[in-house]
A and B are shown apart, each in its own frame.
Chain A
Amino acid sequence: MTPSSEYNFAYLDEQTKRMIRRAILKGLAIPGYQVPFASREMPMPYGWGTGGVQVSAAVLTPDDRFKVIDQGADDTTNAVSIRTFFERTAGVATTTATPEATVIQTRHRIPEVPLTEGQILVYQVPIPEPLRFLEPRESETRKMHSLEEYGLMHVKLYEDISRHGHIATSYAYPVKVEARYVMDPSPIPKFDNPKLGDCPAIQLFGAGREQRIYALPPYTKVVSLDFEDHPFEATKADHPCGLCGANDSYLDEVIVDDAGGRMFVCSDTDYCEGRQSDGHRGKDAA
């Protein structure tokens, strides 16, 4: 498909992209700090990745190779439509292979293959404020961030343990960035949390409805919050992948029949397919 000449490159006008880039640069300068930005109406509903799309639009150049994943998969509706959107409005090359992509927009996962320098990972964020769960006032949460008053964040984890016996928060698990800002890493599984820190790629977070952008520059120190007697654990289902047999990847549970039959498969479709083409096989592989 050829880019439509009716649109500016990557849909947004240059002034808007400049405004967003300024927010991104500020975010990179203050890792973990939520920078307000004037989020635009996008041709998709809120909750479908409007924040991520605006960030992607602002960072894409004609030479980029773009990948989109939704819960790890390249082939779901959301991923396909966002990929097509930028094929049509920016004319950029696209890929499903993590190592080949220069910009990856993601919803709720970090790819299994380690990211490298020069790559940008763009997260779609529904609620950027990690303190919102317990403190509804924006004026108060801003003050808490500016004064580094983060006791409340541990109250949430305390409540988890008192109710479930362990920290039951399994996604959107709060982290502390460079020993300063507490940040919501978007609803990625906590299995992915260790990949946030010391990452060679740039990580950008866009929340369209909430009008916030925040960022982790390469090699940022990111620590998942926990208690001394209930340390953070990056957990996953205790199975190998049914298709590729991988033991080290985050798994989705798939119900396969009406009799309760189920299988566990890699949520990262690119990773799973790569392993299968290398000859790895799981117990449920055809």
Chain B
Amino acid sequence: MTPLLSVHDITKRYGAHIGCADVSFDLYPGEVMGIVGESGSGKSTLLNCMAGHLRPDAGSVVFDTRGHGPRDTVTMSEPERRMLSRTDWAFVHQHARDGLRMGVSAGGNVGERLMAVGARHYGEIRSKAVDWLDRVEIDAGRVDDRPTTFSGGMQQRLQIARNLVTGPRLVFMDEPTGGLDVSVQARLLDLLRGLVRDMGLSAIIVTHDLAVVRLLADRLMVMKDGHVVENGLTDQVLDDPQHAYTQLLVSSVLQV
């Protein structure tokens, strides 16, 4: 089987400071990988390098494209990369405001990616938008409302709908449940789990919340100071951590 995403020796420095260093892994179709670590561990830098938002200083990010097989997204042309990011890739931001157009209706937000790839039939765009609002449990009656009138959880679900409407194969998520109430988080996690399973999505989730990765991620990468210190099956890493830092991380979680 060809990996969907193959990351080799990704390194990103900010001057003398290391963002992330020598990160390599393969992600296979349908796999969900979590990246955990404390603030400044390099997990967001790594995510942005993979998603094409940052250019790594070294290394390659090879994505198995639909049309042309495995391609290095670091060296591909910008138009190609931007095309990927609105078709086969999706990016869910921690703050819905960064991922939504707040001045545009919910339907327009969901429809944008469709229109970006050439949809030109208003009725079809709208019915797809309504269908997706339903899938993320937003009442169809809200299709013409702006996200400014939505709760935080609804905004996050709208962001997910907007990202998934074009049927991407790889979703990057940056703290997708951050800043939400615990009860809202639970609903969002359940929704994400269902979508990942039903659409056969691969996903990379950056978070500092171990409970989130336990529920969503098949496998886990633990980062510290820009380096990967441990990597494996999620429950194995959490229940039988091998590295000193992971042991500290796991034992630091408050129990309720």
Contacts and interface: CB of A to CB of B under 8 A. Distances in A.
Is there direct touching of A and B in the complex, by C-beta distance under 8 Å? yes
Interface in B119-163: 120-123, 125-126, 143-144
Interface stretch (A68-76, A154-162, A177-185, A211-219): A154-162
Nearest to A146: B79
A224 to B, nearest CB: 13
A175 to B, nearest CB: 15
Among B101, B108, B125, the most chain A Cβ lie within 10 Å of the Cβ of: B108
Interface in A215-242: 227-230
Contact of A147 (B82, B103, B113, B123): B82
A147 B120 contact: no
B20 to A, nearest CB: 26
Nearest to A228: B121
A151 B105 contact: no
A201 to B, nearest CB: 31
Contacts of A134: 101, 103-104
A230 B115 contact: no
Contacts of A158: 107-108, 111, 115, 122, 125-126
Interface residues of B, number: 25
Main secondary structure of the interface of B (DSSP, over half): helix
Nearest to B79: A147
Chain A interface helix/strand/loop/mixed: helix
A149 interface: yes
A130 to B, nearest CB: 15
B57 interface: no
A137 interface: no
B111 A155 contact: yes
A160 to B, nearest CB: 10
Contact of A152 (B78, B112, B117): B112
A228 B123 CA distance: 9
A229 B125 CA distance: 11
B184 interface: no
A228 B120 contact: yes
Interface of B: 78-79, 82, 86, 101, 103-105, 107-108, 111-117, 120-123, 125-126, 143-144
21 contacts: A134-B103, A134-B104, A149-B116, A151-B113, A151-B116, A152-B116, A154-B120, A155-B108, A155-B115, A158-B108, A158-B111, A158-B115, A158-B122, A162-B105, A162-B108, A162-B143, A227-B120, A227-B121, A229-B122, A229-B123, A230-B122
